[in-house]
C-alpha cells in the first residue's frame, strides 16, 4: 500500500495555519479511511480531522497544542514494513508557530466546545517610585451607580438576559473587552454579586493578554478587508411597513419558525443580488468573477469576538428556511460547533 501523507488542510480562504487540540489515534495504532485522527482548532470551530488512507499511524510530527501551516506534513500513515524515511526527509523543517491558538485542518465536522484559553502569566512592569498612597476613603454605602450616558455596549446574549430579568444595562459596568457588558455581568447583577475580576497587582501598570484564536484571526483579517479595497457608502431609507406586516402574519402561524427582521434583510439581500449580479462579484486581478449563488455572512457576537458564519444558497431558500437555518447557525457558532464549510 502507498504511504499516506497527513497534511494540515485549508478549510477556508483566509486560513493559514491550524492547531492540533488532541490526537485521537496514537502512533502505532491502525487506522482505516474515514477514521477520525485528531481534533483541530480553528478561529470559528473545533473540527475533526479525518484519515484519507488506511494503515498504521507511523509518525506524528505535530503534537497536541502545537500549530502547523496549511499544507505542512503533520503525520504519516503506512504499513509497518513500508519505508517512510524518504517522506520524512522530504518534509520541510517544522516551523515553530507556537502552542497558541490557530486555525483549521482536514475536515469532517466539529464535536467539541472548548473553554476560552486561560490568560497567560502577568509580567510585572517596573514603574517609577510613587509617593506613599493616601489612605483610601471608606466606601459609600447604599449609593447606586449613575446610569451610563449614550449607547450601552453589550453583547446580544447579555441584552436578552437583561430584558428577561428586568436588569437595567445602563447601571452595569462591563467586564468584557473594551468595557462591553457580557452575560456574567448581567447574571452577577441578578444575584447581587459583583462579577469576578482579577485584582490588579500593586505597582503593575499593564499586562499583556495573549490573543485567542478568534481575536488573532480578527486582527489579521480586518486590515485585509479594509486596506486594499476601495470603499464607498450608500445610505437609503426603506419603508418596511409591508415587510413588518408580513413578519407579524408569518409569526402568527402555528408550527412555523419565528421570522426576525434580520431574516427579512437576508432574504431581501439575496433577491437583490440575483437582480444585480454585478454586485455579487469579486476582482481577481485579471478578471471579475461573477457568482451565480448567494451566500450570506451572518454576524454572531460572542464574548470573545465577532464571527460571521456563512448561510449558503440564500437565493434558493424560503423566508421560513432562512429563519430556521440562521437560528441554528447562530446557536452552533456560540457553541463552537460550526461545520468546516460554514
* Structure confidence by residue, pLDDT tens digits, 197-224: 555 567 778 888 888 777 887 888 788 7
Does the domain made of 4-90 have the CATH classification 2.30.30.100? no
Q: 15-39 burial, b if ≥16 CB within 10 A, otherwise e?
A: bbbbbbbebebeeeeebeeebebbb
**What's residue 323's pLDDT?**
95
Taking the domain 156-191, which CATH number applies?
A: 4.10.320
**What's residue 285's pLDDT?**
85
Query: Is the whole-model pTM more than 0.75?
Result: no
Which stretches of the chain drop beneath a pLDDT of 50?
96, 98-144
- Considering the chain, tell me which residue range(s) the CATH 4.10.320 domain(s) occupy: 156-191
**What's residue 59's pLDDT?**
93
Taking the domain 227-334, which CATH number applies?
A: 3.30.559.10
- Considering the chain, tell me which residue range(s) the CATH 3.30.559.10 domain(s) occupy: 227-334
- Considering the chain, tell me which residue range(s) the CATH 2.40.50.100 domain(s) occupy: 4-90
Amino acid at each position: 500500500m502507498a504511504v499516506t501523507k497527513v497534511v494540515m488542510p485549508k478549510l477556508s480562504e483566509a486560513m493559514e495555519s491550524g492547531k492540533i487540540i488532541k490526537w485521537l489515534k496514537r502512533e502505532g495504532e491502525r487506522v482505516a479511511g474515514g477514521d477520525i485522527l485528531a481534533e483541530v482548532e480553528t478561529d470559528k470551530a473545533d473540527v475533526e480531522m479525518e484519515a484519507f488512507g488506511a494503515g498504521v499511524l507511523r509518525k506524528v510530527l505535530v503534537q497536541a497544542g502545537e500549530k502547523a501551516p496549511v499544507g505542512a506534513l503533520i503525520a504519516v500513515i503506512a504499513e509497518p514494513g513500508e519505508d517512510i524515511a524518504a517522506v520524512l526527509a522530504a518534509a520541510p523543517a517544522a516551523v515553530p508557530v507556537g502552542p497558541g491558538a490557530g486555525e483549521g485542518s482536514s475536515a469532517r465536522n466539529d464535536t467539541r466546545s472548548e473553554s476560552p484559553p486561560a490568560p497567560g502569566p502577568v509580567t510585572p512592569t517596573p514603574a517609577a517610585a510613587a509617593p506613599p498612597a493616601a489612605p483610601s476613603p471608606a466606601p459609600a454605602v447604599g449609593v447606586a451607580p449613575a446610569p451610563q450616558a449614550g449607547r450601552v455596549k453589550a453583547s446580544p446574549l447579555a441584552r436578552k438576559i437583561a430584558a428577561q430579568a428586568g436588569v437595567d444595562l445602563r447601571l452595569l459596568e462591563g467586564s468584557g473587552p473594551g468595557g462591553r457588558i457580557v452575560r456574567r455581568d448581567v447574571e452577577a447583577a441578578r444575584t447581587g454579586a459583583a462579577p469576578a475580576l482579577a485584582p490588579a497587582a500593586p505597582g503593575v501598570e499593564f499586562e499583556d493578554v495573549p490573543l485567542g484564536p478568534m481575536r488573532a484571526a480578527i486582527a489579521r483579517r480586518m486590515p485585509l478587508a479594509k486596506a486594499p479595497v476601495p470603499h464607498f457608502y450608500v445610505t437609503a431609507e426603506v419603508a418596511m411597513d409591508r415587510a413588518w406586516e408580513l413578519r407579524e402574519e408569518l409569526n402568527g402561524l402555528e408550527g412555523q419558525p419565528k421570522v426576525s427582521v434580520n431574516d427579512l434583510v437576508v432574504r431581501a439581500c439575496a433577491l437583490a443580488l440575483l437582480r444585480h449580479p454585478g454586485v455579487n462579484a469579486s476582482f481577481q486581478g485579471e478578471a471579475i468573477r461573477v457568482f451565480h449563488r448567494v451566500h450570506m455572512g451572518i454576524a454572531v457576537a460572542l464574548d470573545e469576538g465577532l464571527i460571521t458564519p456563512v448561510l449558503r444558497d440564500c437565493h434558493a431558500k424560503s423566508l421560513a428556511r432562512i429563519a430556521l437555518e440562521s437560528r441554528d447557525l447562530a446557536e452552533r457558532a456560540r457553541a463552537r460547533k460550526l461545520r468546516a464549510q460554514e
